[in-house]
Structure 1
């Protein structure tokens, strides 16, 4: 009701009367799915793919969704995460290196393209990195799980077989990661994550892609990978919306979801601000 009666602002740039403008929506897909790595990666960190760099408009949009409860942003953020997931599955053993050629008719990119996989990929599970119960209660929603569900829905529309398995939880109290330095974060999460009882059977049915909203030091993803592997599952890779500067540039360079595996540049027609 408030959204209908009061003028909204773009979460990325503050433009009035729209939740997410086309320019900021497109920023979620630039420079496109890339493999990223922190400066000092913790032990056990899998290969990580990010849709965009955690800075400027993407950072503002992620914070608006996570901390300020702008739930309508889950769909465009989930679409960006879906592109990183697809790249992670392909790059992590699901079909070889991504094809990163850009088509001229893909430019400009104001909306996320709906894409068709070039060939079938095996089924896989999306396992979101859990937040503490206190953080979820304070925010009023589980931001990472919401993004995982949005990404899975987007990928299923493209014909992939994917499920969300929110089976990890924190088994002891941890400090707020945002208040810790890179050296302290791995120790803070060491042994703090575990799979819920009975999750091993589900996790062993398919390869696992860990998902999170962002990666800074990689400590959370490394801890989640350890918990999944302890449950007897295989972690294929990890995917996030925002990450550090790219580890490497793909040959040819393309910034949209169509960058991987020859996925079509067909545009969906749904606005990022819808």
Structure 2
């Protein structure tokens, strides 16, 4: 439980838990206990062919996109609660550990944010999460770095509310390779915050694979619950 003076300060300044809305500086005790990463393989349904051929690219998620984790992601990305970066970065780091468990150098490739999203949020949210995860992994001895070889080749629509087919059409051809520097000889893990239909990571996988850099896996913080 939080000390009385901190809890009182929360009530006075109006700070609330990002997970449930109760008075707290970032997360209340209850949500802190619930928000523990549990990395697992999280295939979208239906499974996109681009993640299966020519070799399997397993998607790993450390949580389900619901409840306090969904709320925390929304607060971090849309409301600028940057104090959640360490918690969410820990989720992503746990996914990377399961995605690339073998020894050897790993490079994280974040899905690039659009220019509009960066301006609106005041940051590149996925890049910050990737850097936080990389820092955590290096602190336990893993050779991990972040590279940014992908850029948008055209504008894309907001994916919210789109069907699986619409998401695929929205993302196909939306990314291109800017540079392959720092990718040779490393296991590549594409990272994003949320996995829904897989359209975005499929496009990233396509671009990297076409350049000869087939990813080892995809790592995300949360995946939507399968409907099948």
Alignment TM class, shorter chain as reference: 0.7 to 0.9
Q: How many residues align?
A: 212
Partner of 2:208: 228
Are 1:37 and 1:48, in contact at CA under 8 Å, matched by a contact in 2? yes
Separation in 2, partners of 1:228, 1:22: 41
**TM-score normalised to structure 2 length:** 0.87
Cα shift at 1:203: 1.7
From 133, 142, 148, the counterpart of 1:166: 148
Cα distance, 1:17 vs structure 2: 3.1
Decide which of 128, 136, 152 is 2:118's aligned counterpart.
Answer: 136
The match for 2:20 among 13, 34, 46 is 13
Q: In 2, Cα distance between the equivalents of 1:246 and 1:142?
A: 28
Do 1:204 and 1:234's aligned partners in 2 also have CA atoms closer than 8 Å?
no
Q: Structure 1, residues 142-178: CA drift from partner, whole Å, max 9, x if none?
A: 1111110110011011110000112211111111111
What CA distance in whole angstroms lies between the structure 1 residues aligned with 2:213 and 2:29? 39
2:204 aligns to what SS in structure 1? helix
* Equivalences for residues 58-207 of structure 1 within 5 A: 58-90=69-101, 94=102, 121-196=103-178, 199-207=179-187
Distance 1:242 1:40, change over 3 A: same
CA positional deviation for 1:246 = 7.4
CA distance in 2, matches of 1:138, 1:26: 31
The residue number in structure 1 matching 2:35 is 28
1:20 deviates by 1.2
Matched, 1:55 2:66: yes
Contact 1:214 1:242 in 2 (8 A): yes
User: TM-score w.r.t. structure 1 length?
Assistant: 0.73
Which residue of the other structure, out of 8, 24, 43, is the alignment partner of 1:37? 43
Change in CA separation of 1:43 and 1:68 when aligned onto 2, cut-off 3 Å: same
Instruction: Give the CA RMSD over aligned residues.
Output: 1.8
Which segments of 5 or more consecutive residues in structure 1 lack a partner in the other structure?
95-120, 248-274
Q: Which structure has the higher relative contact order (CA within 8 Å, separation 6+)?
A: 1
CA distance in 1, matches of 2:136, 2:119: 27
Query: Cα deviations across residues 54-100 of structure 1 (Å, max 9, x unaligned)?
Result: 0010000000001111111111100111011101112xxx2xxxxxx
